[in-house]
Amino acid sequence: VPKPITPLVLCRRARPLGPMPNEELDLQNLKSLERYRSYTRYLRRAEEAKKQPVWWKTYRAYMEQADPDHDAELVDIGLPLCRPSRTKEVRERRQVIKDNKKNAELERMTRLRTFKIPLDRVQETWEKTTAPFQIKRLAEHYGVFKDLFPMAHFFPQVFLHVHYGKDNSDQVHFGNRMTPTQATSAPQVSFNAEEGSLWTLLLTCPDEHLQDNEAEYVHWLVGNIPGGAVQAGDELCHYLPPFPARGTGFHRYIYVLFKQEGPISFQEDVRPSPCFSLEERTFKTQDFYRRHQDHMTPVGVAFFQSQWDESVTNTFHHTLNMREPVFEFIRPPVYHPPQVKFPHRQPLRYLDRYRDGKEQTYGIY
């Protein structure tokens, strides 16, 4: 029998078009290399090397060629952020440390382990200093700006306090998990607002739409909020609890707070009350902001994640009055024929099929 002929393909590696990176380094004598001695000097050298022309393409160059919008500069649509002086912060921190060392009572409580840190002051200090930067990083990590405000971002400078439940025990942070049962009714929302100011509060979900991946469902929209009194604002679309479809994983539910320059007429955004039509609740935050961008500015954000539970079935059947979509296979229980009194020609573990599921004692009486 003749053996099958396998074609042999010889791959010849082409020579590089120029010098390879770090080709001039002597790997046998690494101690002779110049040391940077500081990160600033290393960063300066790296910036100089980045500007030099090279013959190869970087990953960023390939991505820019395939997608011109990749890693493009984003537009800041928020309020101007006043960065605190780093020198002033360091000076104040040193002064606080110096005063604490002179405090004998503080030293005694620390030594006896009775000193208590006031968490309210820590929260207040965090909100005034690094909170806008860290919240913005979290929002970028979860794709909030990419899906709601394409090619734009903002620094959340107004901290949103969103609490669910009768005792306000369930709080919305920045990506924490909550069940649809916890978010059944409208939450208590509070924020620091100047007297006479007007605000707009939006709750939307970019992952929930059943027909259009680029669209959203608006769950709550309140405009012309005087001060921080959300109940006194104009409810443009009443609250609808989350309804993530079964089998679609976690959905993001995002609160966005806008600061208005004055009263706004939201005639195009008003939904009928009650509004249980998903077609009428179809929404796009980008289009909403474009209509009113001359009169409002996003200043705050908070969001949570939620996936299917039993309350979603009730929302689809009784609130939305529609059949529930299911995107996963629900396995039926394993079928067992009726138990017979004398199981002839059956395995020894025949009776295990008909146990009641309780923990067995296996001979312990």
Return the higher-pLDDT residue of 1 and 252: 252
Closest CA to 304 of 219, 235, 228: 219
| 3-state secondary structure (DSSP) of residue 202 | strand
What was the pLDDT predicted at 365?
45
What was the pLDDT predicted at 353?
82
Specify which residues 163 forms β-bridges with.
171, 188
Contact status, residue 254 vs residue 303, Cβ threshold 8 Å? yes
Four-residue CA torsion sign, 35, 41, 42, 45:
negative
pLDDT tops 60 at residue 267 = yes
What was the pLDDT predicted at 250?
96
Count Cα neighbours of 64 within 13 Å in the Cβ-side half-sphere.
8
Got the DSSP string for 13-29?
PPPPSSPPTTTT--TT-
What was the pLDDT predicted at 362?
56
The mean pLDDT value for 214-241 works out to: 94
Domains belonging to the chain, first-starting first, are: 81-127 (no CATH), 130-319 (3.90.280.10)
Residue range 150-205, pLDDT digits in tens: 999 999 999 999 999 988 889 999 999 999 999 999 999 999 999 999 999 999 99
Question: What residue type is 321 in one-letter code?
Answer: N
The mean pLDDT value for 288-300 works out to: 95
pLDDT tops 70 at residue 11 = no
pLDDT tops 70 at residue 9 = no
CA separation for the pair 132, 83 (Å, rounded) = 10
What was the pLDDT predicted at 344?
87
Closest CA to 271 of 241, 240, 300, 243: 240
pLDDT tops 80 at residue 357 = no
Contact status, residue 242 vs residue 292, Cβ threshold 8 Å? no
Confidence of residue 73 (pLDDT cuts 50, 70, 90): confident
Output 19-25 pairs: Cβ under 8 A, ≥24 positions apart: 21/56
The mean pLDDT value for 318-336 works out to: 88
Contact status, residue 228 vs residue 295, Cβ threshold 8 Å? no
What was the pLDDT predicted at 23?
82
For the chain, what is the mean pLDDT?
Answer: 88
Lowest mean pLDDT among 13-17, 111-115, 217-221: 13-17
Closest CA to 306 of 177, 200, 205, 189: 177
Confidence of residue 137 (pLDDT cuts 50, 70, 90): very high
Lowest mean pLDDT among 85-94, 131-140, 156-165, 256-265: 85-94
Confidence of residue 5 (pLDDT cuts 50, 70, 90): low
Residue range 83-124, pLDDT digits in tens: 778 888 889 889 999 999 999 999 999 999 999 989 999 999
User: % helix / strand / coil in the chain, to the nearest 5?
Assistant: 30, 20, 55
The mean pLDDT value for 46-60 works out to: 85
Lowest mean pLDDT among 28-37, 142-151, 154-163, 202-211: 28-37
| End-to-end CA separation in angstroms for the chain | 72
CA separation for the pair 238, 203 (Å, rounded) = 10
Residue range 330-356, pLDDT digits in tens: 788 888 888 888 888 888 888 888 877
Specify which residues 298 forms β-bridges with.
258
pLDDT tops 90 at residue 6 = no
What was the pLDDT predicted at 69?
67
